[in-house]
Amino acid sequence: MDTEERRSPVSSAPAATAVSAATGGAKIPCQQHRQLWVEEPAIRRRMPDPVRKAAVRAVLIMSLTIIQAMVAFLCTLAGSWLAFPMVLSSVGSTVVTTWSVLDVWVTRQVWNQRNGVVSVPSSSARQLRRERRRARRAARTTQRDDARIRRRGAGSLSRA
C-alpha cells in the first residue's frame, strides 16, 4: 500500500499544496485530491419511527438514571443527608429504566407483527400478503363475472 493512501486526512492536509521554488513560492495543488467526506451506504436499515422514539426515550432515561446513581454514590461518600433520598430514587429510576428498555423490545415486536419483516425476501409476512392479494383479485373477478351475467340476462325473457 502506498504511503499516501495510509495517511489520515488530517496528516495529509499540509501535503495538499506544494510550494515550488520555480513558481516563486506560489502554491500548486497536488495531483491527488482526496475528499474529506465520503458517503457510504448504510449497513443496516433505519429503525421504524415508533421503535426509534422508544429507543431514544430509553437512552435518555438510562443516562439520567446513571447520573442519578453517580450523584447518590458521591453523596454517600461525602456523608450528605441527601444520600438516602438519592439512593431510593435511584432504585425507582432503575425500575423505570428497565421498563423503558422492555418498551423498546415490545414496540419492535409489535411493529414487526403489524407490518411484517420485509427486509428478508423469503419473509412469511410477504408471502401472506401475496396470498391475500390473490384471494382479493379472485373475489373481484368472480363479482365482475356475476355482474356481467346478471346484466346480460336481465332484459330478455326465456324463449322456452
Q: Tens of pLDDT along the chain (160 residues)?
A: 444 444 444 444 444 455 555 555 555 555 677 788 888 887 888 888 999 999 999 999 999 999 999 999 999 999 999 999 999 999 999 999 999 999 999 999 999 888 876 555 566 677 888 889 999 999 999 988 888 877 666 556 665 5
Bridge partners of residue 29, in order along the sequence: 17
Q: What is the pLDDT of residue 71?
A: 95
Q: What proportions of the chain, in percent to the nearest 5, are helix, strand and coil?
A: 65, 5, 35
Q: What is the pLDDT of residue 8?
A: 46
Q: How far apart are CA 85 and CA 71, in angstroms?
A: 11
- Cα dist from 12 to 15, 16, 30, 94, 147, whole Å: 5, 7, 11, 48, 76
Q: What is the pLDDT of residue 1?
A: 47
- Cα dist from 49 to 52, 104, 115, whole Å: 5, 11, 13
Q: What is the pLDDT of residue 121?
A: 57
